[in-house]
A and B are shown apart, each in its own frame.
Chain A
Amino acid sequence: MAFDVSTNDESIDVPPSGFSAMLRSIWADRLGRIGLILLVVTAVVAVLGPFVFPFNPADVGADSSTILQPPSADHWLGTDELGRDVFREFLAGARISLFVGIMATLISTVIGAGIGIVAGYFMGPLDTTLMSATDFFLVIPALPLMIAMGAIFGQNLLIIILVIGLLSWPRTARIVRSQTLSLRQRQYVARAKSLGASDARIIRRNVAPHVLQLIVANTILVVAGCILAEATLSFIGLGDPDRISWGSMLHFAFVSGAVGLGAWWYFMPPGLGILVVVLGFTLVGHSFERIANPRLKGE
């Protein structure tokens, strides 16, 4: 044993590794399967939809008789307050909502996982400082802060992605840190260290791979939160006016009084779209979590 420097001598709960094995075990879970189906459907709609039915924001109706019209053969989901086709707008919005949600999640995951691993691995004053900052951002109410930053920095896609991404990482940091702390106590880390491995190497070879699964499970759940955050910010009126998302559609439906006029074809589709994506990510995320962390089983 004394010469065994392999990193896998201590069994850490590393159930199915590899992408396809992971997918298979989620598929085996009833709720996970529903989530996967919802996500695949959304992905197809968001990727292919705008190619088949392109949306031109400038394609407004000719006169007032074209606005807020109920569904018809010409307009499958009716028209909006400018006489534009809601179905095409819905497909274009799917793409923006998913894009913003996923990009913001990537930013948040990189920051959260980075801070979590560094704090948990190096411990001491660095850990205390980083975790104080994390706790500070954890208790500050995220939405008001996002609204304030969105209003100050302006309304475009990049700013929205940055604002959501830069404010969604604290929980990831906490989770990753506690996992890193427990990994750090394992013997193989001490062994690698005594053999002269650098911190960077230990983090890369012995710590990161084992928190990866946890990070992935958490990331899937964060996407759901980021998509909801984007929808809410855009609904408040902070969306990119040139790139309409589901949230901005609901903003315009709300301020144009479509709800009071009973134009259900305008405000139902974007809301249902958000529900489907967010539920899809939530179900898959919980399913992944149960598989990655068997202690949660039986819940």
Chain B
Amino acid sequence: MPPLLRRFLVLCASIFAIVTFNFFLFHVIPGDPIRLIARSQRLSPEQVAKLREAYGLDGSIFSQYLTYLKNLAHGDLGYSFALHENVGDIVGRALVNTLILLTVSTTVVVLLGIAIGVFAGSRQGSKSDSATVVTSLVFWSLPTFWVGMLLVFIFGVWLGGLPISGITTPNAEYQNYFQYIADIARHLILPTLTLALVDIAFFVIITRTSLIEVMSEDYMLTARGKGLSQRTMVWKHATRNALLPVVTASVLYISALVAGAIQVEVVFSWPGMGLLTYNSVLARDYPTLEACFLIISVAVLVANFIADLVYRRLDPRVAVA
């Protein structure tokens, strides 16, 4: 079996596993799922009976599971009694906002992290190198949500000037599309800064370690022998090779990224999947919470798969194995 196909089958199996896991977590374990769904609102007995039928809860566990799969295949994620809307629509909007936040912050985190890591690694043992390492360890030890709270305090209470909540200014009127984009960009500053402050450390440490390893390779000695400048050696020759382990490690980062994004969205009321998760926890809105968990997990599985593809492309040696 070609490795690519094998990886794809593993992905499908994992998605199937998470869907099944999700079913047991939300539908089987808590006892009566309708009570769970309706915990936030009082329902009449007729409504409960109707829900039971809609979710196939009158049948055995197996037939319930089939109904669940069927609904899912039709994109039916259930109905939120807290928000009075189809969960699918709510999640769709939130997902777009989260993707905006993740695209911008991940770009910043990865680029800055690699740059700082190369900077520190190429000066191994120097004062600036150990300062970078210690700073990274300190920031990596900070709870992301607390860094967000500090920034809200500094920029919302002390200095002012930067928006600390939401994705756009409420009731703002835009003359043109650019103003709208600019407004979103301003709201992105603090959430991105929060994620960057904590998460850059991850890429700094990995890039640095990897670069130090590459610098001791024989071909770096050759490069030095050719009389290349330190700068060309580090940035042109060493960095390229040092990036492979960074790509591998970024798979580990995906989970941290998701956790960080949830916290940042909560602190800055960014209307994405994280804030939706938080609000559905507070409102005990289980259908929405369930959909959030399912969508986030599937997205992470797919992201892992893509990272793996990229890695295979970058390093042909893996493709053979």
Measuring CB to CB, which residues of chain A are less than 8 angstroms from any residue of chain B? Answer: 31, 136, 139-145, 147-152, 224, 228, 231-232, 235-238, 247, 250, 253-254, 259-262, 264, 267, 270-271, 274-275, 278-279, 282-283, 286, 299
How many A-B pairs fall under 8 Å by CB? Answer: 132
B146 interface residue per 8 A CB criterion? yes
Is there an interface contact between A274 and B146, defined as CB atoms closer than 8 Å? Answer: yes
Q: In the bound complex, how far is the Cα of B157 from the Cα of A275, in angstroms?
A: 23
The 10 A-B pairs at the shortest CB distance, nearest first, are namely A143-B259, A271-B146, A278-B141, A279-B141, A141-B258, A148-B293, A262-B157, A144-B296, A141-B300, A141-B255
By the criterion CB–CB under 8 Å, are A299 and B150 in contact?
no
Contact partner, B134, options A31, A145, A231, Cβ 8 Å: A31
Distance between Cα atoms of A31 and B135 in the complex (Å): 12
Q: Chain A nearest CB: distance from B250 CB in Å?
A: 13
A148 to B304, CA, bound (A): 21
Name the segment of B61-69, B239-247, B277-285 touching the other chain.
B277-285
9 residue pairs of the A-B complex, CB under 8 angstroms, read A136-B14, A140-B297, A143-B255, A145-B297, A152-B30, A235-B145, A238-B281, A262-B153, A262-B158
Q: Which of A232, A259, A270 contacts B263 (CB 8 A)?
A: A232
Secondary structure dominating the interface of A: helix
Any A CB within 8 A of the CB of B204:
no
Q: How far is the CB of B253 from chain A (nearest CB, A)?
A: 11
B131 at the interface (CB under 8 A from A): no
* A147-B286 Cα distance, complex, nearest whole Å: 12
Contact between A151 and B289, CB atoms less than 8 A apart? yes
Contacts of B30 in A (CB 8 A): 152
Q: Is the CB of B149 within 8 A of A274?
A: no
The reply to whether B153 and A275 contact each other, CB–CB distance below 8 Å, is: no
11 further contact pairs, Cβ within 8 A, besides A140-B297, A148-B289, A262-B158? A31-B134, A141-B255, A142-B259, A144-B292, A148-B25, A232-B145, A236-B266, A278-B143, A279-B138, A282-B140, A299-B209
B278-321 to A contact mask, C-beta < 8 Å, 1/0: 10011010100110110011001100100000000000000000
How far does the Cβ of B36 sit from chain A's closest Cβ, in whole Å?
8
- B234 interfacial by beta-carbon distance below 8 Å: no
* B281 in contact with A236 (CB, 8 Å): yes
- CB-defined contacts of B254 to chain A, threshold 8 Å: 139, 141
Whole-angstrom distance between the alpha carbons of A31 and B237 in the complex? Answer: 32
Binary interface profile of B, 180-218, with partner A (CB < 8 Å = 1, else 0)?
000000000000000000000000000001001000000
User: Is B143 a contact of A235 with CB atoms below 8 Å?
Assistant: yes
Our pick among B149, B212, B282, B301 for the contact of A139 (Cβ within 8 Å) is B301
Q: Given A141-B258, A141-B297, A260-B152, answer yes or no on A271-B17 (Cβ-Cβ < 8 Å).
A: no
